[in-house]
Amino acid sequence: MKIVVLVKHVPDAAADRKFDEADYTTDRVSVDSILSELDEYAVEEALKISDAGDAEVIAVTMGPEQAQDAIKRALQMGADSGVHVLDEALHGSDALATSQVLAAAIEKVGEVDLVFTGMASTDGGMSVVPAMLAERLQLAHVGFVGELTLDGGTVRARRDADVTETVEAALPAIVSVTDQINEPRYPSFKGIMAAKKKPVQTWSLADLGIDAGSVGLSAAWSVVASVTARPPRTQGEVVTDEGDGGAKLAAYLADQKFI
Amino acid sequence: MAEILVLVDHADGAVRKTTTELLTIARRLGEPSAVFIGSGYDAARDTLAQFGAAKVYVAENPELVDHLVAPQAEVLAQVAATAQPAAILLASNPDGKEIAARLAIKLESGLITDAVDVVAADAGITTTQSVFAGGYTVTARVTHGTPIVTVKPNAATPEPAQSTPVEEKVAVSISDTAKRARIVERAARGESGRPELTEAAIVVSGGRGTGGDFGPVEALADALGAAVGASRAAVDSGWYPHAHQVGQTGKTVSPQLYVAAGISGAIQHRAGMQTSKTVVVVNKDAEAPIFSMADFGVVGDLHTVLPQATEEITKRKA
Ligand SMILES: Cc1cc2nc3c(=O)[nH]c(=O)nc-3n(C[C@H](O)[C@H](O)[C@H](O)COP(=O)(O)OP(=O)(O)OC[C@H]3O[C@@H](n4cnc5c(N)ncnc54)[C@H](O)[C@@H]3O)c2cc1C
Ligand SMILES: Nc1ncnc2c1ncn2[C@@H]1O[C@H](COP(=O)(O)O)[C@@H](O)[C@H]1O
């Protein structure tokens, strides 16, 4: 069984995330970046399947030079190999272009049974790339999965959307997972050492047969017109409870016409 | 005037509030056409007319209900091909986003998600988004194809505008590919008697500081007619159901008033409530980061502060 896990390298949410002043793209260079935390759950779910049986796990990322760190982390956790799609022309790609590139990469990997992704990237956070991949590859997609069982050629999943649904799909399928599904492992010392010897391929757009003109900022199907840093909320009145904190709270709410 | 398609978000014909918000926004952009997919249209008819749908496309078919979103995207693409709308609006929830994603590929159109406002500007339909946990406000436009926009709850105040919609039945044909993910079971929507979390005008949330007792949080919520939310720490501890989690991996709320009790204010939590109009905090640690965004805060124990507030509110209301 062959499993692809999509891992994205994103600016750390704990750092001060910002935009490139020149073209309004996410600043991926001067801000500390990490493997998107939500993709760790996808890696873990793939590893659980490979721990339980015979599965090859391939971590795939698309992103600038530093994105190889996301692959590295997945390999340290236990993935078998990595693919890094790297090309200057990709800068500023929208979700549509990203899904085009990742779909081509999945096809080039070939004979993939399962694709795991996170429920959203922690930077863009659109939650659309997995469904776009399904549309492009004509595969089943189950999103927002909080529990998964694999039974032969069928996945059975608990989907935590607005209501909870139980969904079945035959492989091959794309599954995007939430942080409810498992507890991602930390790389062990052995894992970290082993990762150094694992193969990582770098593919360009040419390797994928994609025209550079169809991706990147200039080919995006939407434009950012303006970016404004939101003034931090100014802190209002804070009182210390001296036996009347609740009453003061109620008075504030009444004052603001919430009662 | 060009049509603006609004995908109706409903459960068996019970139209959700977000749809009335979308219809209100659509009226500012052009002529609103509702697209009803699923079953139970009879129950939805009046609400769609009340909020000004000039036209309703009705696609009723059991196969639409038994499968995940792919068939809905097919129907919507089919309607869009004939209606040639100026924009397509969907609710920014899991189903809405996945349908929008598939639609963008089918229609070769740009997609903007999580809009908190949509306006008709000189340059075209323009959206506003709040990104990086509310740190930035971004305006954007679709430049290719039909603008597809998913809109967050509470992006507009629903304004009734009675109409007599033209109804158009849509013949449904679903491809086999779209039927690959089958729904075998669907849980009923939790009936707490309280407003729906994402739609509520007031949300009272509890965190680890509740110590597992959500009684005071629920009592205050009920006194205010509010929905109840929870931090992930509270959900992970099994104190409150995951469906109530507010934050990056839970629900995004944008109420008039958000009360955070016993919540420290981690960035992942703030990501889900940053656009709340007014924020009130109760926390025993004066250094808790959540205070920095409080319009009003009480440093104190929620187990005494909340019940006192609840009692006082009940008194004032009487
Ligand atoms: C990938 C990922 C996704 C995440 N998604 C979410 C998400 O969607 N939503 C979310 O909320 N979190 C999310 N988190 C977790 C987040 O980082 C925090 O761990 C979590 O929000 C903390 O919850 P808390 O504020 O209730 O708990 P704590 O941080 O432990 O804070 C508890 C607070 O309660 C106060 N307190 C204690 N006792 C009392 C008392 N008696 N009276 C008053 N105050 C008291 C304390 O002073 C403290 O400030 C996510 C984390 C990760 C890594
Ligand atoms: N550039 C990328 N490289 C690898 N995986 C990605 C990339 N962008 C998105 N993904 C995957 O798609 C999921 C959802 O992304 P998004 O639609 O951007 O919220 C992420 O959690 C990743 O698993």
Considering the four listed CATH numbers 2.40.50.140, 1.10.357.10, 3.40.50.620, 3.40.50.450, the one that applies to the domain covering A2-219 is 3.40.50.620
Residue whose structure tokens are 């500390």:
A32
Q: With pLDDT > 70 as the criterion, what percentage of chain A qualifies?
A: 100
For position B250, what pLDDT does the model report? 93
Determine the Cα–Cα distance for residues B59 and B35; give it in Å rounded to an integer. Answer: 8
For position B62, what pLDDT does the model report? 82
For position B83, what pLDDT does the model report? 97
**Residue B172 distance to chain A (closest CA, Å):** 19
Q: Is the pLDDT of residue B134 over 80?
A: no
For position A148, what pLDDT does the model report? 98
Determine the Cα–Cα distance for residues B123 and B76; give it in Å rounded to an integer. Answer: 26
B270 lines ligand 1 (CB under 6 A): no
Protein residue closest via CA to atom 4 of ligand 1: B268
Q: Buried (b) or exposed (e) across B207-238, using 16+ Cβ within 10 A? A: bbbbeeebebbbbbbbbbebbbbbbbbbbeee
Tell me the ipTM for this assembly. 0.94
- Spatial neighbors of B266 by CB under 8 A, at least 6 apart, are B231, B247, B289
B52 lines ligand 1 (CB under 6 A): no
Mean pLDDT of B113-139: 91
Determine the Cα–Cα distance for residues B93 and A30; give it in Å rounded to an integer. Answer: 32
Q: At what angle do helices A68-77 and A37-52 cross, to 10 degrees?
A: 40
Protein residue closest via CA to atom 47 of ligand 1: B285
- Spatial neighbors of B257 by CB under 8 A, at least 6 apart, are A253, A256, A258, B201, B202, B203, B224, B226, B276, B277, B278, B279, B280
Determine the Cα–Cα distance for residues B300 and B226; give it in Å rounded to an integer. Answer: 22
The residue that leads in pLDDT, B186 or A124, is B186
User: What residues are paired with B197 via a beta bridge?
Assistant: none
Confidence label for A32 from pLDDT (cuts 50, 70 and 90): confident
Q: Is the pLDDT of residue B182 over 70?
A: yes
CB contact under 8 Å between B224 and A248, yes or no, is no
Q: Strand A164-170 to strand B181-186: parallel, antiparallel, or no bridges (unpaired)?
A: antiparallel
Q: Which whole-number Å values give the CA distances from B211 to B205, B235, B252, B263, in the listed order?
A: 13, 12, 24, 11
Helix (H) / strand (E) containing A160: strand A154-160
Note whether A25 and A17 are within 8 A (CB): no
B242 touches chain A (CB under 8 A): yes
pTM score = 0.95
Residue B265 marked ligand-binding: yes
Enumerate domains of chain B plus CATH numbers: 3-179 (3.40.50.620), 197-317 (3.40.50.1220)
Determine the Cα–Cα distance for residues B113 and B90; give it in Å rounded to an integer. Answer: 9
Q: Strand A154-160 to strand A164-170: parallel, antiparallel, or no bridges (unpaired)?
A: antiparallel
Residues 131-190 of B with CB under 8 A from A: 131-145, 177, 180-189
Mean pLDDT of B23-31: 97
C-alpha A157 to ligand 2 mean position (Å)? 20
Mean pLDDT estimate for chain B: 95
Chain B nearest-CA residue for A168: B182
Q: Is the pLDDT of residue B190 over 70?
A: no
A30 touches chain B (CB under 8 A): no
Residue B308 marked ligand-binding: no
Confidence label for B77 from pLDDT (cuts 50, 70 and 90): very high
Lowest mean pLDDT among A9-13, A82-86, A97-101, A238-242: A9-13
Token pair of B3 as six digits: 């049509």
For position B305, what pLDDT does the model report? 98
The residue that leads in pLDDT, B29 or A234, is B29
Confidence label for B115 from pLDDT (cuts 50, 70 and 90): very high
